[in-house]
A = this chain, B = another copy of it.
Amino acid sequence: MTDSAIREISFSQAIYEAMALAMEADERVILMGEDIGVYGGAFQVTGDLVHRFGPERVIDTPISELGGAGVAVGAALTGMRPIFEFQFSDFATLAMEQIVNQAAKMRYMLGGEVSVPVIMRLPCGSGSGAAAQHSQSLEAWFAHVPGLKVIEPTTPYDAKGMLLAALEQNDPVLIFEHKLLYKMKGHVPEGHYTVPIGPSETRRQGKDVTIVATAIMVARALEAAVILEGENIDVEVIDLRTLRPMDTESIIASVKRTSRLLCVYEGVKTLGIGAEISAAIVESDAFGFLDAPVIRLGGQECPIPYSPGLERASVPQVDDIVRCARDLVRRKI
């Protein structure tokens, strides 16, 4: 086993590495965002890149999300490959116009004559006590928009590989990065490799129930699976990874084996990503294989509160997953 084969780095280092590799290989790759230079980014993801590549390629923008995102879109349209960092995905609310009306639609509106290879990175999720305006999981909005690709890696390995894959796309790609994952460590090869955008990944195989999860909920689902194993419940855990386009095929295949499906996600339950998973599976030929209703475990129907106890109660925790999965397995139609 070489050093590289056992090397473990954090999720944020993995993203850093992907950006550094891309910038070394391709002059067109530039970074834009607030405080991504000397500050190193609000979550220290861009780190020292400004020192390695200079302030012309690691550009601190003013606090101007709409304009900043628009500049990135314009640059992408004219030959650059900008990676734009929102400090928190909540601030993308200021830039929806440029993301949705411009970046996502431009190729189509112009009959295929242009492409907009912009990448946007969006730290998301609760769990850090940052409250209602800094903790949202708004991925579902973007997954609703044709023209965008939306990914949400959950391991350092995927974070690097999917970002490098995004850089090979000619379309806008949004990367949601759950804040609680940044410090998570895992094996990451040195050098260039890609993890394709699209396919989900089965993180654990099981025969009693399929859990499809996103972001931090993948880790919680895996924890829950261990607990449920003790109760002789054999859980399959699928990490969705790409929200648009969605890999329904793998989920269908899994459900055909387990006959039960639980969707776990942090965004608000109503119209969150689980709504699409459920609807898509029910619409498919997996429907006939279901031994129980598809159940969704999503965020509460409220903003994310500040107080730690409330915050925990506002999104699914390991024991919620255990309870839901157990109920589902016991359930008869």
A: residues with CB less than 8 A from B are 66, 90-91, 93-94, 96-97, 100-101, 104-105, 108-109, 131-133, 138, 140-141, 143-147, 244, 246, 267-268, 270-276, 278-280, 282-284, 287-288, 292-296, 300-303, 305, 333
Contacts and interface: CB of A to CB of B under 8 A. Distances in A.
Given A101-B133, A146-B302, 6 more contacts: A66-B66, A108-B132, A108-B305, A144-B268, A275-B278, A282-B294
18 contacts: A93-B97, A93-B100, A94-B97, A104-B303, A108-B303, A109-B132, A138-B144, A140-B144, A144-B270, A146-B301, A146-B302, A271-B273, A271-B275, A278-B278, A278-B283, A279-B294, A279-B296, A287-B293
Contacts of A132: 101, 105, 108-109
B143 A271 contact: yes
A279 B283 contact: no
B146 A303 contact: yes
Chain copies in complex: 2
Contact of A144 (B109, B271, B287): B271
Contacts of A276: 270-271, 275
Contacts of A91: 97
A127 B66 CA distance: 29
Q: List the 5 closest A-B pairs by CB distance, nearest first.
A: A278-B279, A144-B271, A93-B96, A287-B293, A275-B275
B302 A108 contact: yes
A301 B276 CA distance: 14
A105 B145 CA distance: 24
A205 B211 CA distance: 37
B278 A282 contact: yes
A274 B283 CA distance: 11
A287 B305 CA distance: 33
Contacts of A96: 93-94, 96
Nearest to A131: B109
Contacts of A101: 90, 93, 132-133
